Structures are given as structure tokens and as C-alpha cells.
Amino acid sequence: MLKSISKTFAAIAVISTSLFAGSMVAQAAGGGEHIEVQDWGFKGPFGTYDRDAMARGYQVYKEVCSSCHALEHLSFRHLGDKGGPFYDAEYPNPNDNPVVKAFAKDWTVERIDQESGDVIDDTAIPADKFPDVFPNAIAAAASNGGAVPPDLSIIIQARTGGADYLYALLTGYESDENHDGVYHNSAFPGGAIKMAPPLSDDLVEYADGTKATTEQMAHDVVEFLAWSGDPKMEVRKKVGFATFLFLFIFALLLFMTYKEVWKDVEH
């Protein structure tokens, strides 16, 4: 009896380890040869986001990327959701979170005036979505040498190589030399991109005193965009693990019951 239990235990352990290993390999796959794999804390079955890095990443998005790229799937209040960069347990409703309110105030959104029906500019509130940067794709292309800056809210999910690709892209410029607005970037497919190098050392001044090197800013904005594309990842992993544990114990109990029930029957 003990022997077979230990055999079953071993079999379940082997299956579970290979399942976990499989999921890690799946996450690491993708990307070109020049895309270096980085050591992200949010990878793997127990990975979580780094909240300080996300908060710094928001600052990079706001001060640098937001002049060209939108975040159409995100509202300001999401920043204060549980698991978000500015979550505060004192304000379970992120609409009341003073940090989120202050951030929203930095942005202007368009509203319909309720009396005249005119479109008017107004200060954003936490419930607002991040505003569009350009009125449409034609206007976006016209301002960017014919290329449209894509929405960044789910860019990590939308590109092969994900976080590693985005990091490689942001750190993949050797110089800011260009031919008619086309820059060389070793990570971009084809090597020629119409985005000028957006980052350079000390471009932002981090509130927490972290030195703003290009690599640091690239790392932080990737952390922020990894969260924006998959804000429920941490909860999902926790629930997944709990389910796994439950099924494991359940399988063990079931097996022991089976042995107990059939113990006096010859077979």
C-alpha cells in the first residue's frame, strides 16, 4: 500500500513538474536571435510584478511615450486597482485614491458639453480612459513620417518576444543617426524603424532617486506595460496554484480511498 502511494505520489510530482516547466518554456519562446532574454520578476509560475518599477515605468510612459503612443485599454482608475502600480489599501475604490486623482489631473480629455453639444477639453478624472494622442491613424502617420505609433496597452502580448522584445527595441539603437527619419534598430524586424530613439540617459528624473539610465527606463516602462497588458496575472497565478494544490490533495485522497475500499478484494 505504502509503496503504491509513493509511486502515485512520484507520478503526480513528475506530471506537475513537467506542466510547470512546460509553461515556463512556452513563456521563454519567441523573439529573434538578437533578442536577449531578460530576467523578469513577473515570469514563471510564481512571478509577480515589481511595484516600484511599474510606478517608475508609468512616469516614463507619461513623460516620454505618451506624446506619440496611446493606452486605449486603460483608464486612470486602473492605476489604483489592487495589483496596480498605485494601489493603496486605504482606498479600495481607486476613484478615491489621491495619487490616482492627482495623476488624472495631469491629463486633458475631450468631453461633450451637456448644454451646447460642443466637444470641449476638460481635466481628466480617475474614471476617464487615457486619451487618444491623434484623432485618427492618418493624422498619426502624418505626424510620424508615415508610420503609426501603435497603442501600447497590450503591446507586450502583441509582439513575439514580449517583454524581452520591447526591452531590446528600446535599447537597440546604436545612434540617433537616420536616413529620412528611418533609424537603425537591431531588435526591430528588418532593422529600420521610424521611431527616433525615445530614451537617453537622465531623460526623466525619478522621484525615488533611482538613476535614470536608458536601460533602467526601458526596464521600468516594460514592467509597467507588462502589467497594463495583463493586470490580472498575479491573481490568476495564485488561483492556478491553489487549484493545482487542491487537485493534488484530492487525487491523493481518492487514491487512498480506492485502496481502502478494495483492500480485502483479491485482484
N-terminal to C-terminal alpha carbon distance within the chain: 14
Stretch that binds ligand HEC, among 47-55, 58-66, 99-107, 248-256 (CB under 6 A): 58-66
Q: How far is the CB of 189 from ligand HEC (least distance, A)?
A: 7
Q: Should residue 144 be labelled a site residue for ligand HEC when binding is judged by CB under 6 A?
A: yes
User: Could you tell me if 76 and 85 are in contact, meaning their C-beta atoms sit under 8 angstroms apart?
Assistant: no
Q: The dihedral of CA 207, 70, 235, 254: what is its sign?
A: negative
- DSSP string spanning 20-70? HHHHHHHHH--S-TT-PPP--TT-STT----HHHHHHHHHHHHHTGGGT--
Residue ranges in 157-176 that form contacts with ligand HEC under rule CB under 6 A = 159, 166, 169-170
Stretch that binds ligand HEC, among 18-26, 63-71, 107-115, 204-212 (CB under 6 A): 63-71
Would you call 121 helix, strand, or coil by DSSP?
Answer: strand
Residue ranges in 191-230 that form contacts with ligand HEC under rule CB under 6 A = 193-196, 198-199, 221
Q: How far is the CB of 11 from ligand HEC (least distance, A)?
A: 43
Cell of 250: 484530492
- d(CA 68, CA 112) in angstroms, rounded, equals 24
Q: How far is the CB of 182 from ligand HEC (least distance, A)?
A: 8
Name the burial class of residue 253, with classes exposed (0-12), middle (13-18) and buried (19+) by CB atoms within 10 angstroms of its CB: exposed
User: Could you tell me if 170 and 83 are in contact, meaning their C-beta atoms sit under 8 angstroms apart?
Assistant: no
Shorter beta-carbon distance to ligand HEC: residue 126 or 199: 199
Among 64, 79, 163, 212, binds ligand HEC (CB under 6 A): 64
Letters for 77-116 (x = contact with ligand HEC by CB under 6 A, - = none) are ----------------------------------------
Q: How far is the CB of 44 from ligand HEC (least distance, A)?
A: 23
Q: How far is the CB of 121 from ligand HEC (least distance, A)?
A: 21
Among 17, 18, 67, 257, binds ligand HEC (CB under 6 A): 67
Across 52-88, b (16+ Cβ under 10 Å) vs e yields ebbbbbbbbbbebbbebbbbeebbbbbbbbebbbbbe
Shorter beta-carbon distance to ligand HEC: residue 104 or 193: 193
Stretch that binds ligand HEC, among 17-25, 47-55, 116-124, 190-198 (CB under 6 A): 190-198
Q: How far is the CB of 130 from ligand HEC (least distance, A)?
A: 14
**Residue 94: other Cβ atoms inside 10 A:** 23
Name the burial class of residue 217, with classes exposed (0-12), middle (13-18) and buried (19+) by CB atoms within 10 angstroms of its CB: buried
- d(CA 61, CA 71) in angstroms, rounded, equals 10
Q: How far is the CB of 172 from ligand HEC (least distance, A)?
A: 10
Q: Please report, as ranges, the residues that interact with ligand HEC according to CB under 6 A.
A: 60, 64-65, 67-69, 144, 147, 149-150, 152, 155, 159, 166, 169-170, 193-196, 198-199, 221
